[in-house]
């Protein structure tokens, strides 16, 4: 099989297309979460904690940096070692929010699937004909008749 034909079969498989759609939607969803964290959650957290901007939170480990300087200015000081933890805090909050939203989304989809399965099962039960009991003598009655016939033959 030629390389182009093999690649074409691979590229148009359902899983690859589903993955591509997922990546595109995930990228857009990531932007929404980033905006929610930066524009909604972080200002609220900052209002409670009192720090207006987490991205400029840092500690100087080595060197002399002017107190209250912006992170970029602190990093620009020659010989200074800056432990910038503020952006990390923002990214952790962003990750936790994204994980929570994905969890809620998966939970909702699972509930929809369960409801659909119950409905399908109910429809199948309603559509299935009721099993009727066979009419006529029971097994015990037939065995009794056979016994009686065997007795009469002796």
Instruction: Give the pLDDT confidence score for residue 104 in this predicted structure.
Output: 87
Residue 27 tokens read as 């990228």
- Compute the distance between CA of residue 48 and CA of residue 26 in angstroms, rounded to an integer: 31
Instruction: Tell me which of 142 and 18 has the higher pLDDT.
Output: 142
| pLDDT tens digit sequence for 2-53 | 888 888 777 777 677 778 888 888 888 888 878 887 788 778 877 887 765 6
Residue 110 tokens read as 């699972």
- pLDDT band of residue 1 (cuts 50, 70, 90) is low
| pLDDT tens digit sequence for 68-89 | 788 888 888 888 898 888 888 8
| Best CA proximity match to 82, nearest among 57, 107, 116, 47 | 57
- pLDDT band of residue 55 (cuts 50, 70, 90) is confident
Instruction: Give the pLDDT confidence score for residue 113 in this predicted structure.
Output: 92
Count, in order, helices (H) and strands (E) of the chain: 6, 2
Strand partners, 83: 59
pLDDT-above-70 percentage for the chain: 92
Residue 32 neighbours by CB under 8 Å, 6+ apart: none
| pTM for this prediction | 0.54
């Amino acid at each position: 099989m030629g390389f182009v034909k093999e690649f074409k079969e691979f590229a148009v498989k359902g899983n690859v297309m589903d993955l591509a759609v997922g990546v595109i939607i995930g990228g857009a969803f990531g932007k929404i979460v980033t905006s929610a964290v930066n524009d909604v959650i972080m200002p609220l957290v900052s209002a409670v904690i009192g720090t207006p901007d987490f991205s400029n939170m840092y500690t100087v480990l080595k060197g002399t940096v002017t107190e209250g300087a912006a992170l970029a200015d602190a990093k620009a000081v020659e010989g200074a070692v800056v432990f910038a933890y503020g952006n990390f805090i923002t990214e952790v909050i962003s990750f936790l929010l994204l994980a929570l939203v994905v969890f809620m989304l998966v939970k909702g989809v699972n509930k929809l699937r369960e409801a659909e399965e119950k409905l399908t099962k109910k429809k199948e039960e309603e559509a299935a004909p009721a099993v009727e009991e066979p009419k006529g003598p029971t097994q015990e009655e037939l065995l009794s008749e056979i016994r009686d016939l065997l007795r009469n033959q002796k």
